């Protein structure tokens, strides 16, 4: 439930801040913001959230990625999600997240809501990590 999640996040933040302050012999605030839950209510919001969670580490791994698009493109070429993610490789070898259920034996649970299972696909189709290179809005869904 939301209250338990909020309390858990608050406790985690306190624990991390205390450890950080102790390790660096300092006092004071470590985190600028507090945890604030925001419900994901639309396909576009869900797709953007998934894209952020799955691929944000790639854009952070390239310092000043706008100026180093070639370096990011090189990393994308070799990107493959962990063994528990779902999706398929494109002809160019880039892995696309397509919303298929996690493989058998996966520690991930299958999505429980329509929005998480398939609704997000209506907001631009499968997630291609190459979207990080141009930062344009996702392509519109194809007519079926």
Per-residue pLDDT of the chain (144 residues; tens, 9 = 90+): 778 888 888 888 889 999 999 999 999 888 877 777 788 999 999 988 888 877 776 666 555 555 566 666 666 555 555 555 566 556 555 556 666 676 677 666 778 889 988 888 889 887 776 676 665 544 555 665
Q: What was the pLDDT predicted at 22?
A: 93
The C-alpha R_g of the chain, in whole angstroms, comes to: 18
Backbone φ, ψ for residue 140 (5° rounding)? -70, 155
Per residue in 80-104, is it b (16+ CB within 10 Å) or e — as a string? eeeeeeebeeeeeebbbbebeeeee
Give the C-alpha separation, 17 to 22, whole Å. 8
Q: What was the pLDDT predicted at 118?
A: 84
Of 37, 39, 41, 45, whose CA–CA distance to 5 is shortest? 37
Residue spans per domain, the chain = 1-37, 40-144
Q: What was the pLDDT predicted at 137?
A: 46
């Amino acid at each position: 439930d939301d209250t338990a999640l909020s309390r858990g996040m608050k406790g985690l933040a306190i624990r991390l801040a205390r450890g950080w302050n102790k390790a660096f012999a300092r006092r004071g605030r470590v985190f600028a913001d507090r945890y604030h839950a925001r419900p994901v209510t639309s396909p576009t919001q869900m797709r953007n959230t998934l894209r952020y969670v799955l691929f944000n580490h790639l854009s952070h791994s390239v310092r000043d990625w706008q100026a180093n698009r070639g370096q990011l493109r090189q990393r994308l070429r070799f990107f493959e999600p962990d063994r528990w993610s779902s999706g398929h490789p494109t002809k160019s070898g880039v892995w696309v997240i397509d919303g298929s259920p996690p493989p058998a034996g996966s520690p991930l649970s299958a999505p429980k809501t329509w929005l998480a299972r398939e609704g997000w696909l209506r907001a631009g189709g499968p997630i291609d990590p190459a979207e990080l290179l141009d930062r344009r809005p996702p392509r519109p869904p194809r007519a079926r």
